[in-house]
Amino acid sequence: MKLHEYQSKEIFRNYGIPTPEGIMCNTPEEASKAVRQFQTAAIKAQVLVGGRGKAGGIAIATPENATETALRIMGLTIKGLPVGKVLVEQSVDIKQEFYLSIALDRTSRRPLLIASASGGVDIEEVARTSPDLIHKELIDPETGPQPEQLEHTATGLGISDVTSLSGMVNSLYTIYDELDCTLAEINPLVLTGDGGLVALDAKINIDDNALFRQLAMQQLYEKNLEDLDPLEVQVKKLGMSYVAMDGDIGCIVNGAGLALATLDMISREGGTPANFMDVRGGADAFHVGRAVEITASNPRTKVMLINMFGGLTLCDEIAEGIHDTLQGLDIPVVVRLTGTNQEKGWEILKDAKVSVAQSTAEAAGIAVGLVS
Note the pLDDT tens digit of each residue in 353-365: 899 999 999 999 9
Is the CB of residue 73 less than 8 Å from the CB of residue 86? yes
Read off the pLDDT of each residue in 271-298 and give the average, rounded to a whole number.
89
Based on the residue annotation, tell me whether 185 is a catalytic residue of this protein: yes
Candidates 6, 99, 176, 242; catalytic one: 99
Q: Is residue 14 part of a domain?
A: no
Instruction: Look at residues 47, 26, 6 and name the one whose alpha carbon lies nearest to residue 201.
Output: 6
Candidates 89, 137, 185, 320; catalytic one: 185
- Distance, in Å, from the CA atom of 280 to the CA atom of 312, rounded to the nearest integer, reads 9
- Distance, in Å, from the CA atom of 249 to the CA atom of 272, rounded to the nearest integer, reads 6
Is the CB of residue 368 less than 8 Å from the CB of residue 270? yes
Torsion-angle region of residue 206: left (phi > 0), alpha (psi -120 to 50) or beta? Answer: beta
**Position 68, amino acid:** E
Dihedral through CA 148, CA 153, CA 157, CA 160, nearest 10? -30
Q: What is the pLDDT of residues 54-109, one digit of tens each?
A: 899 999 999 999 999 999 999 998 887 899 999 999 999 999 999 999 999 988 99
Kind and range of the H or E run holding 220: helix 215-224
- Distance, in Å, from the CA atom of 162 to the CA atom of 35, rounded to the nearest integer, reads 34
DSSP 258: H
Last residue of a domain, one of 211, 239, 260: 211
DSSP 2: B
Based on the residue annotation, tell me whether 29 is a catalytic residue of this protein: no
**Mean of pLDDT over the chain:** 92
Q: Name the domain count of the chain.
A: 3
Please indicate, yes or no, whether residues 290 and 157 belong to a single structural domain of this protein: no
Domain extent for 293: 230-371
Is the CB of residue 44 less than 8 Å from the CB of residue 58? yes
**How many Cα neighbours within 13 Å face the side chain of 110?**
14
Q: What is the pLDDT of residues 223-260, one digit of tens each?
A: 887 787 777 778 888 888 888 888 999 999 998 888 88
> Residue 118 — pLDDT band, cuts 50, 70, 90?
confident
Please indicate, yes or no, whether residues 267 and 358 belong to a single structural domain of this protein: yes
Please indicate, yes or no, whether residues 137 and 240 belong to a single structural domain of this protein: no
- What's the length of the chain? 372
> Residue 326 — pLDDT band, cuts 50, 70, 90?
confident
* Lowest mean pLDDT across 180-189, 279-288, 355-364: 279-288
CATH code, domain carrying 29: 3.30.1490.20
